[in-house]
Amino acid sequence: LLKYTASCESLNSAGRSRPLSDVVEAAQLVEVLAQVGENLRQLAYNGNYKRLKIFSGMEPTPPGEETFEAWRDAALVAITDWPGSGPALCRKIQESLRGPALDLIKLHREVCPQDGPEKLIEVLEDTYGPVEDEIEMLYKFQSCMQKEKENLSEYLKRLQQMLKLLVCRRIIATDRVDSMRLQQLFRGALSMDPTAVMLRSFYRGKKEPTYQELIREIRKEEVNVLRREKKSRGSERTYSDSQKAEEIAELKKQVAQLKARVSEKEEGSTMSRTSSFPKAGGARGDPPKCFRCGRLGHISPHCPTQRENAAATEVISYGCDVRKPPQKRYRKRRNQVRCYTCGWYGHTSHTCDWGRNEDFTDVYVTSFPCEVDICEEKSCEIPGVSIIKVKLIKERLKIKVYKLSFGLS
């Protein structure tokens, strides 16, 4: 504005000093208008441009600042959008730097004042950028593969980021970006991805598409695949629901059959358990009777009462010990077998010759109320039998002897 005012004042003073012709006035007017437009453009440019975020080059990155990768990408876009010459762009880049990065750029501009903004960004990238060789970066790009359960569009975005880094480092030319992108997309995509299968058949023998065209086709195909999957899931769900209902009905039927079989087996086992008890000679279906205690409902091997009252004491002649009948039935040895006719051990009643003589009698120790008491160590004479000495079984126990005749009425 000051320059514009000064130019206007000089024009007015020149006009007051001497009159000009029409040609001279037109030329001066054009010059003044051009100067005014340049001043206005410079004024708008100096105050109304998008500034870059702060980058200092310190590690870790302070809050409110950008990492070098983000700052570099924004600076590369800004230098193409900003109007002006090289020194003005270098000054704007320098305004966004702080700390060690600012000191580095100041020193470089003093040493090489003719370098442009691209050179300044390259110096910063050599200082703060990732240290990777060109061969390593190319190998990393060519070995980038699609992950499991990753959309093809996400995989394409990762490839685009790597391509951008390769272009910034001037490893590949810009005219090879589309061909390398499509080639690596087909190489690294999953073989069973439906979107990749469609792209291989669609772009076979055609010109390489740009990133915008490729991402548009990929997203459209992903939407179509998702719709087809939803329809197939709905039909499968209907079929699976009907199949599950049939399976549930079949399982219920099998469970009912198993329950019926179990109940039949339980009833059969109960009947067999009841029929296993020996009957007491009554009608069929009567409960068993115990021959030991006389109660109903169990048999003698399972009788809960003790055999105190039913035990009988036995006296064996010729000094034999007193023995009680065994509590349980078990197989005896030959020398333990007792003859129930004569009372001797070693033979049975079938082979015993004790009752063949009518005058032969036996002596038993019993506990019936009609017994005859005898004294201890008292001998009795029985026809056909030698004198038998009766021993005392227990102290204060009365021994009662009965004469039993075999074969006599």
Count the domains in the chain: 2
Predicted TM-score (pTM) of this structure: 0.42
pLDDT at 376: 42
Q: Which of 2-6, 33-37, 346-350, 384-388 has the lowest mean pLDDT?
A: 384-388
CA-to-CA dists, residue 69 to 65, 89, 98, 121, 253, angstroms: 12, 19, 16, 11, 69
Average pLDDT, the chain: 73
pLDDT at 288: 84
For the stretch 343-388, pLDDT in tens is 787 788 878 876 554 444 444 444 434 444 444 444 444 444 343 3
In a domain, 377, yes or no: yes
In a domain, 327, yes or no: yes
Strand ordering across the sheet containing 373-374: 361-365, 399-405, 373-374
| Mean pLDDT of the region 176-204 | 91
pLDDT at 361: 43
| Mean pLDDT of the region 64-88 | 84
| 292 or 215, greater pLDDT | 215
In a domain, 394, yes or no: yes
In a domain, 390, yes or no: yes
Domain that holds residue 391: 312-409
For the stretch 287-321, pLDDT in tens is 888 887 888 878 877 787 745 454 444 444 444 44
In a domain, 373, yes or no: yes
pLDDT at 214: 93
pLDDT at 178: 92
In a domain, 286, yes or no: no
In a domain, 209, yes or no: no
The answer to whether residue 389 scores a pLDDT higher than 90 is no
In a domain, 87, yes or no: no
DSSP string, 129-177: S----HHHHHHHHHT--PPTT--HHHHHHHHHHHHHHHHHTTSS-GGGH
